Structure 1
């Protein structure tokens, strides 16, 4: 497939453009509303859009993940700035976690670049099922410990969050917020710190997927490695535009019911992606 878009007409291109714009808007709104990273929405939507375009199975998940990571750089930077002004970013924890996170991201991008597309799809599907179960069944009082671990345990958690997040194309919030709250960490501080973690994941993750995709065959037009610049250009503006509206809506809408609905969406998405990876 020398060109994904060469064989489709202008109507189909218009549908693609609109779908990517809507993807960004929904991802930004959900990120602001529920405190999850937009990547958990962007990756599966891009995957299905690329499937409709008949993109090669070996690259479509890699491009979905790489493109999602590239959008996280700007959105997490904006979110981090807002939380920083409110004093909700734990700089001491960031200093302790930063190196381990980056090491985890590098390991995750290297592993993702070396595996086949279905394997990467399976990773996303499996973790999506875990995240959906946590969103659907967890309770605010659930705790593993009264405080986050220190030393090797803390570094292992940070590296694991970085590695899995990079392989899934998601920011820090989806994994780090529930992890920190399970260790009795204040929720607002967890969300603010997670925004900074997303920034730490986004930059090396994007670079890794660019390098890993250089020279890859059957990439869609406007791709730089595994990062599709067209997708980035269309998703990022609407995502950044809608994130503040989602944050405002969180104070006016029944968030618990919305989380259950989103957990159901993630559950079905995870099952479908696991099934497609096996098919």
Structure 2
């Protein structure tokens, strides 16, 4: 119970980011959960897998709330989401399987590098110019597989990859954010299922686990996150996007450095 306020604060931040940027909030949720689990004395060998699996379980609910809010603003391209789904599901399952075979240190480094890479992209190209037209269904499926794999590997909803991809395909920023929020649903559900499956027979996990998902952490973080996602979605349609992206980039720099330097 002493860690409950930290879980709730993590959920508030995750929900706001989900609504604001069409991301699942995993790039903040995973590092914070890893630090909380480490402070609780969680088995070090499984800290990152549980942080990632729990993050995806939270995103499974947050993405539903965020997508519903964006749908209310008519900002979700559902046909594009449908074309991405087969690849997103396949990629997310592959990502969970890949993460199962990696150590906590390696996963922490991957999360840290991923956060810094996204931050750099946002700082140098906060609102990228459209370069290509929307690809066909086959290319969308292939892109979805790559996005799903990378997203599940580090416990994110895929927004940091899906939003720039959709921008380059010709979508304006708010529609890219809304569509990305909906695309996070299959990533999170498939990824969470993959982490339950791969962690099911793992020895040494404490009570309160469902595979690689921490049920107490999931319940506390998800409750706050789902409540805050619609708030973030409303803000996304009112605040200047470039300001928001740069603020998010600064946060990701701090998180990336923490993961690269703090998990041994």
Task: Please state if 1:223 is matched with 2:205.
Answer: no
* Equivalent position of 2:100 in the other structure: 113
Gaps of 5+ in 2: none
* Equivalent position of 1:5 in the other structure: none
TM-score (structure 1 length as normaliser) = 0.86
How far off is 1:80 after superposition? 2.1
* Equivalent position of 1:126 in the other structure: 113
| Corresponding residue to 2:220 among 234, 246, 250 | 234
Distance (Å, rounded) in 1 between the aligned partners of 2:126 and 2:200: 44
Give the length in aligned residue pairs. 264
How far off is 1:273 after superposition? 1.4
Query: 1:187-226 counterparts in 2 under 5 A?
Result: 187-226=173-212
TM-score (structure 2 length as normaliser) = 0.91
Distance (Å, rounded) in 2 between the aligned partners of 1:90 and 1:252: 20
How far off is 1:158 after superposition? 1.2
* Structure with max Cα Rg: 1
- Contact kept, 8 Å, 2:127 with 2:242, in 1: the verdict is no
Structure 1 segments (4+ residues) deviating >4 Å: 250-255
* CA spacing shift, 1:202–1:128, aligned 2, 3 Å: same
* Equivalent position of 2:250 in the other structure: 264
* Equivalent position of 1:97 in the other structure: 84
* CA spacing shift, 1:267–1:104, aligned 2, 3 Å: same
Q: Deviations over 1:172-198 (max 9, x none)?
A: 322201221123222222222212211
* Equivalent position of 2:67 in the other structure: 80
RMSD value, Cα: 2.1
Task: Please state if 1:45 is matched with 2:32.
Answer: yes
Gaps of 5+ in 1: 1-12
Q: What secondary structure sits across from 1:133 in the alignment?
A: helix
* Equivalent position of 1:54 in the other structure: 41
